[in-house]
Amino acid sequence: MRIFLYILLLSILLISCEENFSPKTEFKEKYVLYCLVNADATWIQIQAFAWIANIYDVEGIDPNKKTIKPNIRGAKLTLFKKNFQYPFYEYSEVHTSQYDTLKNYFITNISNPSPDRDISIKAALTNGVVLSGKTSIPMNLNLEFSYTFASGFTTNINKFHHGYSWIIDWSGSFGEHDEHLFFTKIFINYYKQVGTDKIYGSVEVPIKIIQKNGQDIPVYPTYTYTHSISFDYDAFDWAMKQIAGNDPNKADYNIINLILSIDEFDLNLSKFYSSVNGYLDQFSIRIDERTYSNINGGIGIFGSYTSTMIDFEINKAYVESFGYKRY
């Protein structure tokens, strides 16, 4: 019986030896196309940027060790809107990105696509590979507010009647089931007079302030699929206080305005953003989740977005209640 036990232990020890193992498989050539269309609020002309790269391999599993630039040059890119074609032009310049990878890009300008918002892209590479995709550009948003401020923004309102939050609702080009992503931000712009110089700054307004261990913790808006957002009035007061902080010379601060911006991603960009930033919870462990792609013949994204921005004046008495001046 002892012999059996010895064999057992020996087997365990032999098998216990660590083996070489690589998590990689055979590398195959594949191409990546990104094209973003920024349909800004002017709607006169919109600009499309595109990047093309290839998938690459490195020694080991750290992609930062790559020695080759993945950019693809010489491709013919065309943007299509109904019967019109818009060729892209290739540019090369030093890109200041953290990873210094895609230094050359393609740009084209197209006329306001409304009311025909559907556009498509085709990229013909020099080796015959064709990449293509389609998108539909979102239109600007129509906004509604729970309270309109006749003499500039203030939190000194009858909150019992009008509520303790400023609620902003919007509607737009999205269909009932087209769940676009929205990014909402409110900033208070100001400058500080230092001698003859003006030092400009801005403070982002959180949606609410929560108490944790006796301290105020601001909660800022994240992306949302809903067509509404709510900012507590207390959060505006908190943001106003942050402008000067502990600086006793509050009169040096001039409050310029309050800016509300809502960015809307189209369906493709919304899916892409969600698949990249998707977060279930802090415990679930997910593996090999793939990123959303709408590029035929390769991977990547062809998407568009619009920005809706509104400038609000801030009530003079409200500004002065903090010891500031109104610009």
Partner 1 sequence: MSKFIYFLIIYTLSVELCFSTGSLRGFVTDSTNGEAIVYANVYIESTQQGVATDTRGYYFIPSIPSGTQLVIVSCVGYKTKKNDIAIQNNKITELNVELIPTTFQIDDLYIYGQKSAENETNLGLEKIYAREIEILPTGIESDIFRVIQTSPGVSTTGDITSKYYVRGGGSDQNVVLLNGAPIYYPYHALGTMSVVDPEIINMLEFFKGGFTSQYGGRLSSILNIVTKDGNKNKFQGGAQASFLSGKLFLQGPIPNGSFFVTGRKSYFADVLKKYFNNKDAPFDFYDVTFKVSYSNQAIDKDSKFIVHGFASGDFVDYEDELKENYSIRNQIIGMTWDKVWSSPLFSHFELSYSGFQAEVIPNLSNSKPRSNQIVDITLKSDFAYVYDNKDEFGIGMENKYFGSKLNVLNLYGQRMNYDEWGWDLTIYSNYKFLRWEKIGFDIGVRAKLLAISKKRPFLLEPRFNFTYHPTALVSLKASVGRYSQEVLTLTDENELISIFEPWIIIPDYIEAPEATQFSAGLEMYITENMTFEIEGYYKLIDNLIDINRKKFSAKDNDYVNADGHSYGAEILLKFQPRDFFIKLSYALGWAYKVNGGKEYYPRYDVRHSANILFGINFGNGWQGNLMWTFNSGMPFTPIAGFYDRLDFPTLPPSLYSTNFIPVIFWGDKNSARLPVYHRLDISASKEFEIFITDITIGVNIINVYNKKNIFYFDRDTGEEVYMLPFFPSAFVKVEL
Span 94-133, contacts to partner 1 by CB under 8 A: 97-99, 101-102
Give residues with Cβ within 8 angstroms of 126, minimum separation 6. Answer: 74, 75
Residues that bind partner 1 (rule: CB under 8 A) add up to a total of 84
Give residues with Cβ within 8 angstroms of 247, minimum separation 6. Answer: 253
Nearer to partner 1, 233 or 305 (CB): 305
Nearer to partner 1, 96 or 158 (CB): 96
Question: 107 phi and psi, to 5 degrees?
Answer: -130, 145
Question: Is residue 236 within 8 Å of 254, Cβ to Cβ?
Answer: no
Q: How far is the CB of 50 from partner 1 (least distance, A)?
A: 10
Q: How far is the CB of 194 from partner 1 (least distance, A)?
A: 27
d(CA 176, CA 141): 15
Among 131, 141, 232, 263, binds partner 1 (CB under 8 A): 263
Among 63, 74, 87, 201, binds partner 1 (CB under 8 A): 63
Q: How far is the CB of 288 from partner 1 (least distance, A)?
A: 4
Report if residue 286 touches partner 1, rule: CB under 8 A. yes
Task: Specify the stretch interacting with partner 1 by CB under 8 A; choose among 136-144, 149-157, 248-256, 262-270.
Answer: 262-270
Nearer to partner 1, 36 or 167 (CB): 36
Question: Is residue 171 within 8 Å of 204, Cβ to Cβ?
Answer: no
Nearer to partner 1, 3 or 287 (CB): 287
Report if residue 210 touches partner 1, rule: CB under 8 A. yes
d(CA 26, CA 88): 34
Among 13, 44, 68, 94, binds partner 1 (CB under 8 A): 13
Report if residue 66 touches partner 1, rule: CB under 8 A. yes
Q: How far is the CB of 197 from partner 1 (least distance, A)?
A: 26
Report if residue 215 touches partner 1, rule: CB under 8 A. no
Report if residue 42 touches partner 1, rule: CB under 8 A. no
d(CA 135, CA 121): 9
Give the C-alpha distances (Å, rounded to integers) separating 143 from 160, 258, 314: 23, 16, 19
Residue with token string 């979102």: 138
Nearer to partner 1, 197 or 289 (CB): 289
Question: Is residue 145 within 8 Å of 166, Cβ to Cβ?
Answer: yes
What six digits make up the tokens of 221? 């808006």
Task: Specify the stretch interacting with partner 1 by CB under 8 A; choose among 14-22, 134-142, 166-174, 240-248.
Answer: 14-22
d(CA 253, CA 216): 23
Report if residue 217 touches partner 1, rule: CB under 8 A. yes
Among 2, 3, 25, 248, binds partner 1 (CB under 8 A): 25
Report if residue 313 touches partner 1, rule: CB under 8 A. no
Q: How far is the CB of 206 from partner 1 (least distance, A)?
A: 10
Report if residue 311 touches partner 1, rule: CB under 8 A. no
Among 39, 186, 267, 314, binds partner 1 (CB under 8 A): 267
Residue with token string 């892409």: 272
Compute the half-sphere exposure of residue 256: CA atoms within 13 Å on the CB side of its CA.
Answer: 15
Q: 271: part of which helix (H) or strand (E)?
A: helix 267-277
Q: How far is the CB of 187 from partner 1 (least distance, A)?
A: 13
Task: Specify the stretch interacting with partner 1 by CB under 8 A; choose among 126-134, 137-145, 147-155, 291-299.
Answer: 291-299
Strand 118-124 vs strand 104-111: parallel, antiparallel, or unpaired? unpaired
Q: Which of 245, 265, 267, 295 minimizes the C-alpha distance to 121? A: 295
Q: Which of 91, 258, 92, 87 minimizes the C-alpha distance to 188? A: 258
